[in-house]
């Protein structure tokens, strides 16, 4: 009853603050559109698996910058690629060279092809290079760069705007004295947090649906998996952002200090969520990424949208995200002790 | 389960019992071993300049804060205790209202936290709005309210659930004299209805309207009694002179 009252009040306030509502719902769409227009790629050494390929070819691939792993049979190599550990597999079909590309990242497709063609040219000597037979594990080579980044950005913008808006609203509850007033009622601390979750939850659901629909239907970002799972991941990310935002607002004195969390909390998550290839980072830095919520959301969204991943592939990511939200919510209940001990 | 009237002998008469209450923030002692008792059904004033510790004491009474030393009992229950909070109405020094919402929506929200709902909630809103003379402005967003109107709405929020105890922190700041008089008349009516009222003020002439009052200065109680007693004992004609006498006189 009390939680519902709190949630209802938040919804009422939100509906009256049209500008903030617009920021939360429309700004992600605007930025996503802009990103689509301006994005361009970057080069990373391709990881290539080989199946019964002669030594000189492997050396030629390596000398052109590929990270080569030899395999004994085709199944092993393809399974490894299925786990996104490889970008392509080289094998011989009778005597003709054949390449199977992982296919979800257009930059990597381009890199693999460049390396392969250079290597074959060198080996072919003065004759014509042998023709390559191409096939794709995901997609058919028609993915553009924005499909790859877009899948991650869909999650990022849910996260970013919910974090800011939830953080600032909770902060204002404190600075205007209404939090004190709430705590002078028999409202329990966990009820305050639950009320916020419920009230904001409605708008994050709205936002998640709008972003997922806009990204796939209007911007045409690839969607191999289920739309419902994209929605679910977006919602889970938004809940993590909501709980983190309200938690951190306890450590800000005013709105300006809330914005100071952007470079500290939000920007690092961009680096680790897959926009920049994690392989190029040292091991310990990759571990840091795994402590951040966006890493899991982005991992799952990439899987669903580019590789058609189902619930079996993303349930771990979902549980980790729920875990983050629960942790942040509990910490928030504890942080409220600062304002009322019981 | 709990029978407050048996938990201590004093509880059946006393609403607030503070014993040797101290509170300090960092090195600054804001309250220094304060002891006082507020009886049921009286208007008790906390009089003192800003910075004397009035608000800190009020926050301890309402369970928002915990003393470093001493103890506070409210309605027979040692504070802080969550279920006592539904029996008190609190009006903070700053108007804790949601500016985007209308007055009616603010009243509805806070009242629901105390369990009011349905028709009785609607009826009560009309009654209380009438009391603080805001009936015609209920549909206005609070951000369009004047300072005095916000003060009255804050008072209305505190009255909504018909609490046994009212804790009012500077209730009449920014209210014009006519309305201030009507607010005090209303407090008087409430007291006659059996409500205990703990009110802070730094306006000396308001202190005259209290049944008993404590003068606070630098976190200490410098005098305690009825207004008449305090004036007589300090041989002063006004409350202001009395305060100066108890405070050690003019340097």
Q: How confident is the model at residue B76 (pLDDT cuts 50, 70, 90)?
A: confident
Report domain extents, chain A: 47-136, 145-338
- At the topology level, CATH places domain B12-87+164-171+192-250 in Rossmann fold (3.40.50)
10 Å CB burial of residue A15 (0-12, 13-18, 19+) is: exposed
> What is the phi/psi pair of residue B197, to 5°?
-125, 125
- Whether A123 shows a pLDDT value over 80: the answer reads no
Q: Which of A16, A177, A186 is opposite residue B85, by nearest beta carbon? A: A186
Round to whole Å and give the CA distance between A54 and A50.
Answer: 9
Domain-wise residue ranges, chain B: 12-87+164-171+192-250, 93-162
Mean pLDDT lowest for which of A177-181, A227-231, B97-101, B231-235?
B231-235
Question: CA-CA distances (angstroms) from residue A167 to A131, A174, A201?
Answer: 57, 11, 14
Residue A96 confidence (pLDDT): 75
Q: What is the mean pLDDT of chain A?
A: 83
Question: Which comes out higher in pLDDT, residue A168 or A96?
Answer: A168
Residue A243 has pLDDT above 90, yes or no: yes
Distance from CA of B97 to the nearest CA of A (A): 6
How far apart, in Å, are the Cα atoms of A310 and each of A142, A146, A240, A302, A321? 22, 22, 21, 11, 17
Closest CA to A155 of A305, A21, A328: A305
Question: DSSP assignment, residue A214?
Answer: I
d(CA B249, CA B247) in angstroms, rounded, equals 6
Which residues of A are less than 8 Å from B157 in CB distance?
Answer: 181
The region that residue A151 occupies, defined by phi over 0 for left and psi between -120 and 50 for alpha, beta otherwise, is alpha
Task: Indicate whether A232 pLDDT > 80.
Answer: yes
Joined together, the tokens standing for residue A290 give: 């795994």
CB neighbourhood size of B3 (10 A)? 8
Residue of B63, B85, B101 lying closest to A12 (CB–CB): B101
pLDDT of residue A154: 83
- ipTM, two decimals, is 0.81
CB contact under 8 A, A178 and B98: yes
Average pLDDT over residues B15-41: 87
Q: What is the pTM of this model?
A: 0.76
Query: pLDDT band at residue B17, thresholds of 50, 70 and 90?
Result: confident
A4 within 8 A of A198, measured Cβ to Cβ:
yes
pLDDT band, very low/low/confident/very high, at B109 (cuts 50, 70, 90): very high
User: Domain A47-136 falls in which CATH fold?
Assistant: abc type-2 transporter like fold (3.40.1710)
Find the CB nearest A5 among B80, B83, B109.
B109
CB atoms B64 and A183 under 8 Å: yes
Tell me if A176 and B94 make a contact (CB, 8 A cut-off).
yes
pLDDT at A333: 92
d(CA A252, CA A170): 10
Spatial separation of the C-alpha atoms in residues A16 and B20, rounded to whole Å: 48
Is residue B186 pLDDT above 70, yes or no?
A: yes
CB A152 within 8 A of CB A215: no
**Does residue A134 come out as left (phi exceeding 0), alpha (psi in the -120 to 50 range) or beta?**
beta
The overall average pLDDT reported for chain B is 84
Q: Does the distance separating the beta carbons of B62 and A17 come in below 8 Å? A: no
A50-103 pLDDT, tens digit per residue, is: 888 888 888 888 887 788 888 888 888 888 888 878 888 888 777 777 888 887
User: How far apart (Å, rounded) are the C-alpha atoms in residues B36 and B134?
Assistant: 35
Residue A166 has pLDDT above 70, yes or no: yes
Q: What is the DSSP letter of B141?
A: B
| Overall average pLDDT of the B144-169 stretch | 88
The answer to whether A16 contacts B141, with C-beta atoms less than 8 Å apart, is yes
Do B98 and A181 count as a contact with CB atoms less than 8 A apart? Answer: no
Smallest CA–CA distance from A195 into chain B, residue: B113
Give the residue on A whose Cα is nearest the Cα of B113.
A2
Highest mean pLDDT among A64-73, A123-132, B129-138: B129-138
For A179, which residue in chain B has the nearest alpha carbon? B96
- List all residues 6 or more positions away from A282 whose beta carbon is below 8 Å from its beta carbon: none
pLDDT at A238 over 60: yes
Mean pLDDT of the A220-232 span: 86
Cβ atoms of residues A98 and A91 within 8 Å: yes
Q: For residue B156, what are the contacts with CB-CB under 8 A and spacing of at least 6?
A: B103, B107, B128, B129, B131, B132, B134
Least Cα distance to B200 among B21, B57, B86 occurs for B57
CA distances, B215 to each of B32, B37, B43, B122, B231 (Å):
13, 13, 14, 40, 12
Contact assignment for B82 to A185 by CB distance below 8 Å: no
Mean pLDDT within B167-186:
83
Question: Is pLDDT above 80 for A39?
Answer: no
Query: What pLDDT is recorded for position A290?
Result: 82
**What is the percent of chain A with per-residue pLDDT over 90, rounded to a whole number?**
11
From chain A, pick out residues whose CB is under 8 angstroms from the CB of B86: 185-186
Confidence check: pLDDT of B250 > 70: no
Per-position DSSP letters for A15-76, written without gaps between them:
HH-HHHHHHHHHHHHHHHHHHHHH------PPEEEEES--HHHHHHHHHTT-EEEEESSHHH
- Whether chain B has a CB inside 8 Å of the CB on A287: the answer is no
Q: What is the pLDDT of residue B178?
A: 82
Using the beta-carbon criterion (under 8 Å), do A12 and B64 form an inter-chain contact?
A: no
Q: Look at residue B70 and tell me whether its pLDDT is greater than 60.
A: yes
């Amino acid at each position: 009853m009390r939680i519902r009252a709190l949630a209802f009040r938040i919804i009422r306030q939100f509906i009256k603050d049209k500008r903030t509502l617009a920021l939360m719902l429309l700004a992600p769409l605007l930025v996503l559109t802009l990103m689509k227009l301006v994005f361009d790629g970057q080069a990373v050494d391709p990881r290539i698996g080989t199946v019964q390929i002669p030594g000189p070819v492997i050396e030629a691939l390596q000398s052109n910058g590929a990270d080569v792993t030899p395999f004994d049979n085709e199944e092993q190599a393809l399974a490894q690629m299925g786990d996104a550990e490889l970008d392509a597999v080289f094998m011989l079909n009778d005597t003709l060279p054949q390449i199977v590309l992982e296919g979800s990242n257009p930059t990597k497709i381009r890199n693999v092809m460049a390396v392969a063609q250079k290597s074959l040219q060198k080996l072919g000597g003065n004759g014509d290079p042998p023709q390559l037979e191409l096939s794709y594990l995901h997609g058919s080579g028609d993915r553009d760069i924005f499909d790859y980044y877009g899948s991650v950005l869909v999650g990022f913008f849910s996260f970013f705007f919910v974090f800011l808006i939830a953080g600032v609203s909770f902060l204002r509850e404190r600075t205007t004295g209404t939090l004190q007033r709430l705590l002078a009622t028999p409202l329990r601390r966990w009820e305050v947090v639950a009320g916020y979750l419920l009230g904001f939850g409605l708008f994050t659901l709205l936002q998640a649906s709008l972003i997922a629909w806009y990204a796939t239907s209007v911007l045409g970002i690839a969607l191999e998996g289920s739309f419902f799972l994209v929605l679910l991941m977006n919602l889970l990310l938004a809940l993590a952002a909501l709980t983190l935002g309200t938690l951190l607002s306890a450590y800000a004195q005013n709105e300006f200090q809330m914005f100071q969390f952007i470079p500290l909390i939000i920007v690092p998550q961009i680096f680790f969520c897959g926009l920049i290839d994690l392989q190029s980072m040292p091991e310990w830095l990759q571990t840091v990424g795994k402590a951040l919520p966006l890493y899991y959301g982005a991992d799952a969204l990439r899987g669903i949208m580019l590789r058609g991943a189902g619930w079996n592939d993303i349930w771990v990511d979902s549980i980790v995200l729920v875990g983050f939200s629960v942790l942040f919510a509990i910490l928030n209940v504890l942080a409220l002790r600062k304002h009322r001990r019981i | 389960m709990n029978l407050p009237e048996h938990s201590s002998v004093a509880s059946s008469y006393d609403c607030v019992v503070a014993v040797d209450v101290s509170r300090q923030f960092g090195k600054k002692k804001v309250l220094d071993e304060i002891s006082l008792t507020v009886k049921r059904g009286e208007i008790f004033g906390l009089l003192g300049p800003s910075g004397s510790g009035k608000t800190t004491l009020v926050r301890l009474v309402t369970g928002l804060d915990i003393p470093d030393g001493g103890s506070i009992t409210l309605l027979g229950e040692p504070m802080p205790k969550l279920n006592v909070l539904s029996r008190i109405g609190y009006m903070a020094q700053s108007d804790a209202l949601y500016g985007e919402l209308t007055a009616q929506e603010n009243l509805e929200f806070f009242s629901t936290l105390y369990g009011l709902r349905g028709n009785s909630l609607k009826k009560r809103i009309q009654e209380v709005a009438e009391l603080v003379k805001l009936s015609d402005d209920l549909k206005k967003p609070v951000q369009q309210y004047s300072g005095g109107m916000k003060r009255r709405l804050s008072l209305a929020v505190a009255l909504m659930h018909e609490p046994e105890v009212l804790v009012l922190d500077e209730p009449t700041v920014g209210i014009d004299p006519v309305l201030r008089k009507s607010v005090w008349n209303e407090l008087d009516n409430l007291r006659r209805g059996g409500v205990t009222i703990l009110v802070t003020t730094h306006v000396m002439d308001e202190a005259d309207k209290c049944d008993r009052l404590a003068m606070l200065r630098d976190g200490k109680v410098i005098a305690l009694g009825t207004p008449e007693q305090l004036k007589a004992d300090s041989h002063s004609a006004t409350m202001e002179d009395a305060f100066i006498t108890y405070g050690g006189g003019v340097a």
